[in-house]
Structure 1
Amino acid sequence: MSQRALILIEGASNAPLYVQAARHLDLHPITLSADPAQYDYLAAEIGETIPVDTNDLNALMRECSQLRSTFDIAGITSSRESVYATVGKLCRHFGLPGPDPASVEQCCNKFTQRQLLGQAGVPIPAYRVATNATEVDSAAAEIGLPVVLKPVVGIGSSGVRLCRTVYEVAEHTRHLLGGTHIWQSSSPRVLVEEFAQGQYYTADIMGGHVIGIGTGDFGHLPHFVYREYSFPAPLTAEEHARIVEIALRSLRALGLGWGPANIELRWTKRGPVVIEVNPRLAGTPDPQLVQLAYGVNLVDEHIKLVIGEECDLRAWHSRTASARFLAPDRDGMLEGIVGASRAAAIPGVAEVKMYVHPKTPIVRKGDYRDLIGHVIAASPNRDQTAALLEKAVDLVSWTITPFRT
């Protein structure tokens, strides 16, 4: 009898969790990647990697067809948003459960997403789309400063900036359209939108069921680099119900009823406003926080859906889990990191993870790439978790030597 395999297309921050979960579910993980060497975790995990052009759907179909002669392909998935629509197409081709590729594609285009949400009456910020500096200036004037400028296609807050003045709008427009920003699409377009001010919330969803609602904050503006996340968010029953209702309306508007989704919101003067809908599982450390807070393993349950098995989304307990992201305050050469092992040894600290190694050059870009690690703690209540997290973070330090000029 052929061994059951799970095909993973490329990887992302959650990819090691998918490899581990596949093994836990007695599946043989096979990663198809244009450059398998970019994933350090694959060298330490039991699995298989195959180089293939993941931008070529036909090449992926051929590779999967060849693998079927050796393995029983139980499912195909990915933790990377940029290939998730391709995953849907592969699943349809091979008759496997998966996301609707058309829904994923329209959701990944922030302008199209805004249009569909607005048509469905979902509360969103005022917005315009622009293709040149003149259109950006006009859109900012119509909406009114401050505004947020972002690429129509992109992830991880890359290219996203709050602009409070006309000068800042012009400066960031030059960055986006002047050749500095690396675009993920062939037709660069800028989304100009109202700055929705208020507390940030995130809803993690699986198969149309809201598993948990978390809250978080960011580092210093004008960039949106995460500082801290916590589950569950301190909400009244009415506030929780409003966020759930808007989250599910968003999914219906975008045709995202299958599998995982993550919705980001701000609670403004007019209530919850949807900032973005992500048609996939949120990145690390969201899944770890949800598991610690509720007892639901989102990665395991996603894979169960992928291979056609029934998933269990019941919360098994209620705790408070929080993550603090570690971010440098300067550019330079990272000489060393100390205290991580001591922080990890504190009872209640679930994980201390560094993303970079000593002798790594640090060049901050104002997005997710600025983060060099995180600390996760969990306990029965919010105050205890906050104290644990602060104690652990205080033990971790690093040295950065400025670049020679």
Structure 2
Amino acid sequence: MKTIVFIETNKSGSSREAIKAAERLGYLTVLLTKRKRYLAQRTEFPDVHQMYYVKNLESKLLKNKINFLQTQGKEVVAVVSFIDPFVQVAVQLSSELSRNEYINLNAVAEMEDKILTRQALEGLALSPVYTVVDQSDLRIGEILETPICFPLIVKAPVSTGSKDVLFVEGPLQLETAVQSLTIKERNQRVLIEEYLDGPQYLVEVMVQKGVAHLVAVIEQEISRNNRFIVTGYGVLAMVSKEMKQSLKKVAQFIVSTFEVENGTFHLELKRVNKQWKIIEINPRISGGVMNRLIQAAFGMNLVEETIKLYTGQQVSFRKSQLKFAYAQYLTVQTKGRLKKVTGKQRALRHEGVEEVYIKPRKGAFMTPPFSMGHRYGYVLASAYTLSEAKNIAQNAAKEIQFHLQPV
């Protein structure tokens, strides 16, 4: 039977919806995971036909498991991952199994590593001013020889979810931030770049035969306390001609620079003095609510079209509707263990609300957000203007209450 192997998944969001899409398309779905608890929760994954625990998701062990599947008579048509940092190994294994290379392996490597991304865009107006340091740098003064002024952003090269993206306003904070990241991961280099002030957007792109297609342009609402946390996403049903053309130009430039023939990626950009600046590039659809958000806005299932692309099927960019959609994420202000959640049904009764998702279970430890993983659900709404969709989602979100036992 034609089989798609998925390397890791989250229990919800884009990565899980990709598995469900593969099942709908008639494929046998196999999940390779290092999360033992998933095996104990096996009944919660009816869309996963077979699940295997792999202690270390590195190439050799994954290849052994895929060879085992083939000895069972399964025709593995693709190996995919929608989870960082496994996109690269999935592309590598898929290209070894298939006659088709759907995305350049070097492109994935450069996109997954923020330092390699910056080096690929070296000297271009698209890229912020940056420098790279490691444990061998002894003094912050040496680091600041490049023309960078405070505030600055300090990043780990392969971190996701904002937990290792730090905002610093002076030399002491900079030294502390660099030390914390190099201690956390031994011999890790650290990226330091200028802080850019301006509206931030996320752009979902699908590439077919070397042509970039803009799937969605999303405004991001960002909260900056201890970390940069995206608390709201708004899909633009209509984009001005100037914005669309400029973004298409950026996307096609990325395709050419990274030599992408087929695949998907998303860009995070800021608009600074009428110039796009690339914050980062990721070789996959954004996680969390993103696939559902695009579906609510356009009636298009991006992960399903991605599966089609990876398996050589005809891809459709047709949008069956044009609506603005907004997702408001839910966070908490204090630490504690969850006793109960109230207000979900009231939130669902708000006109325009499409979905209310609550992540934690009773007894879960909850904390104010230090990373994207500390967002505990969302309210998704759609309407015929962005402000209306945003108001609906935010007002409905106010109905949700997390009742915590202090710790």
TM over 0.5: yes
Report the Cα offset of residue 141 of structure 1. 6.2
Q: 1:340 to 1:81 in 2, by over 3 A?
A: same
Report the Cα offset of residue 42 of structure 1. 6.4
Report the Cα offset of residue 77 of structure 1. 0.7
Matched residue, 1:155: 160
Q: Secondary structure at the match of 2:313?
A: coil
Q: Map Cα deviations across residues 46-65 of structure 1 (whole Å, 9 max, x no partner).
A: 32101224533222222212
Matched residue, 1:198: 198
Matched residue, 1:213: 217
List alignment gaps of at least 5 residues for structure 1. Answer: none
Identity across matched positions, percent: 20
Report the Cα offset of residue 235 of structure 1. 4.5
Report the Cα offset of residue 402 of structure 1. 3.0
Q: Secondary structure at the match of 1:395?
A: coil
Matched residue, 1:330: 334
Report the Cα offset of residue 16 of structure 1. 1.8
Matched residue, 2:169: 164
Cα RMSD (Å) of the superposition?
2.2
Q: Map Cα deviations across residues 293-333 of structure 1 (whole Å, 9 max, x no partner).
A: 12221110000011110110122221001101111112222
- Return the letter of the residue paired with 1:201: Y
Report the Cα offset of residue 270 of structure 1. 4.8
Distance 1:367 1:301 in 2: 29
- Return the letter of the residue paired with 2:96: H
Question: Are the aligned partners of 2:234 and 2:326 in contact in 1 as well (CA < 8 Å)?
Answer: yes
Q: 1:345 to 1:75 in 2, by over 3 A?
A: farther
TM-score by length of 2: 0.90
Match of 1:273 among 277, 283, 301: 277
Match of 1:374 among 356, 368, 378: 378
Distance 2:104 2:139 in 1: 33
Q: Map Cα deviations across residues 25-82 of structure 1 (whole Å, 9 max, x no partner).
A: 1112110122353485863423210122453322222221221232222322111121
Query: How does 1:48-59 map onto structure 2 within 5 Å?
Result: 48-59=50-61
Higher alpha-carbon deviation: 233-242 or 255-264: 233-242
Question: Are the aligned partners of 1:122 and 1:274 in contact in 2 as well (CA < 8 Å)?
Answer: no
Higher alpha-carbon deviation: 137-146 or 281-290: 137-146
Matched residue, 2:134: 131
- Give the number of equivalent residue pairs: 395
1:17 aligns to 2:20 (yes or no):
no
Matched residue, 2:151: 146
Q: Map Cα deviations across residues 262-304 of structure 1 (whole Å, 9 max, x no partner).
A: 0000001251111101111111211111121122211100000
- Return the letter of the residue paired with 2:53: P
Query: How does 1:339-350 map onto structure 2 within 5 Å?
Result: 339-350=343-354
Match of 2:227 among 223, 229, 238: 223
Report the Cα offset of residue 136 of structure 1. 4.7
Matched residue, 2:35: 35
- Return the letter of the residue paired with 2:8: E
- Return the letter of the residue paired with 1:156: G
Report the Cα offset of residue 339 of structure 1. 0.7
Question: Are the aligned partners of 2:229 and 2:371 in contact in 1 as well (CA < 8 Å)?
Answer: yes
Query: How does 1:114-129 map onto structure 2 within 5 Å?
Result: 114-118=118-122, 121=124, 123-129=126-132
Query: How does 1:177-192 map onto structure 2 within 5 Å?
Result: 177=182, 179=183, 181=184, 183=185, 187-192=187-192
Distance 1:369 1:167 in 2: 28
